[in-house]
Amino acid sequence: MTRIFTFIFLIISVSSFAQELNCTVSVMSPQVQNTEKRIFESLQKDIREFMNSTRWTNDLYAIEERIECSILITVTERLSNDKYKATMQIQSSRPTYMTSYNTVMLNVNDQDFTFNYLENQPLQFQANQHVNNLTSVLAFYAYMIIGTDYDSFSLKGGEPHFQQALQIVNNAQNESERGWKAFEGSKNRYWLIENMLNARYEDFRGVMYKYHREGLDIMQSDVNTGRQAITECLKPLKTIRMDQPNSYLMTVFFTAKVDEMINIFKEAFPDVKTKAANELMQMDPANANKYQAIIKG
């Protein structure tokens, strides 16, 4: 009888845990003609299963602890019978402590995405080699999502996962698909992970921790203390931007955080609002008009 209860307990315990990601996937193909839509529906299903069923780390996750993320693939061209050209929008978020608010952690628009896909063919991935571009790209962003999430909970907590992303980039250096190599552009997968692990951006990793754990996670109980911590993050961000004005990592960060920054600072004291708005406009000129809302708010 004891063994029966033990067996039941083990079943319940195992079933209470899940993989790391809770990823929603959408595949659109408005520009592709003469291709059965069933193929893209199958692709959507296979990607969703790949992202959510693969065990990316050795950590145990409760179902409610899974990282919320989404992938939007827009297929723009059918290059051959089983080869496609597309763009991919990747976004992830995490909850802030004791609130219903989710903060955007990663928001990337990948423009260099080609892949091969055949219906009913399993999606295969191996960490030590480039099997195919579809699963390599998906795995790369899975590790970027996880690493970014871990960095927000502990200082450089995402390091092993970023190293996995780097390995995927290294595996693809001799492949023909774009997005993996330094010379192919300044805003691709290569530069995203290069920036993340480069010692020149070490302070950015500290910002990711302080901004979220000492800033956002505190604001529900002490809004001024939380906002002050986020204000203190602006100085190292400004230094990084001045030293590396074309940093892809910084572009990705501000893409994710622009609206949030506006909401955080528009309720601050007038002097804090003005200083924050000016610094953000300098660091993120692409969104300078948006930051005007801080002062007006």
- Closest by CA to 84, choosing from 125, 47, 129, is 47
User: What pLDDT digit, counting tens, does each position of 241-264 carry?
Assistant: 999 999 999 999 999 999 999 999
Q: What is the pLDDT of residues 137-163, one digit of tens each?
A: 999 999 999 999 999 999 999 999 999
Q: Is residue 8 part of a domain?
A: no
Cα–Cα distance between 27 and 171 in angstroms, integer? Answer: 26
Section 178-205 average pLDDT: 97
Q: Which of 244, 275, 248, 129 is nearest to 184 (CA)?
A: 248
- Domain tally for the chain? 2
Name the band, by pLDDT with cuts 50, 70 and 90, for residue 128. Answer: very high
pLDDT of residue 2: 41
pLDDT at residue 11 tops 70: no
For residue 123, being part of any structural domain is answered with no
Domain contains 50: yes
Final residue before a domain boundary, out of 166, 197, 228? 197
Question: Does 164 fall in a domain?
Answer: yes
Residue 34 sits in the same domain as residue 176: yes
Same domain flag for 192 and 55: yes
Radius of gyration of the chain (CA): 21
Q: Is residue 189 part of a domain?
A: yes
Q: What is the mean pLDDT of residues 55-79?
A: 95
pTM: 0.93
Instruction: For residues 127 and 141, give the distance between their C-alpha atoms in angstroms, rounded to a whole number.
Output: 13
Mark whether 32 and 177 lie in a shared domain: yes
Domain-terminating residue out of 172, 197, 222: 197
Residue 176 lies in a domain: yes
Q: Are residues 174 and 230 in the same domain?
A: no
Q: What is the mean pLDDT of the chain?
A: 93
Q: Which of 167, 197, 227 is the last residue of a domain?
A: 197
Does 179 share its domain with 160?
Answer: yes
Residue 6 domain flag: no
Percent of the chain with pLDDT over 70: 94
Q: Is the pLDDT of residue 31 over 90?
A: no
Residue 78 shares a structural domain with residue 191: yes
- pLDDT for the residue 17: 66
Identify the pLDDT of residue 12: 40
* Inside any domain, residue 3: no
Cβ-Cβ contacts under 8 Å for 178 (sequence gap 6 or more): 112, 114, 184, 185, 188
In 3D, which of 21, 26, 12 has the Cα closest to residue 54? 21
**Domain hosting residue 146, numbered range:** 16-118+128-197
Assign 74 to helix, strand or coil: strand
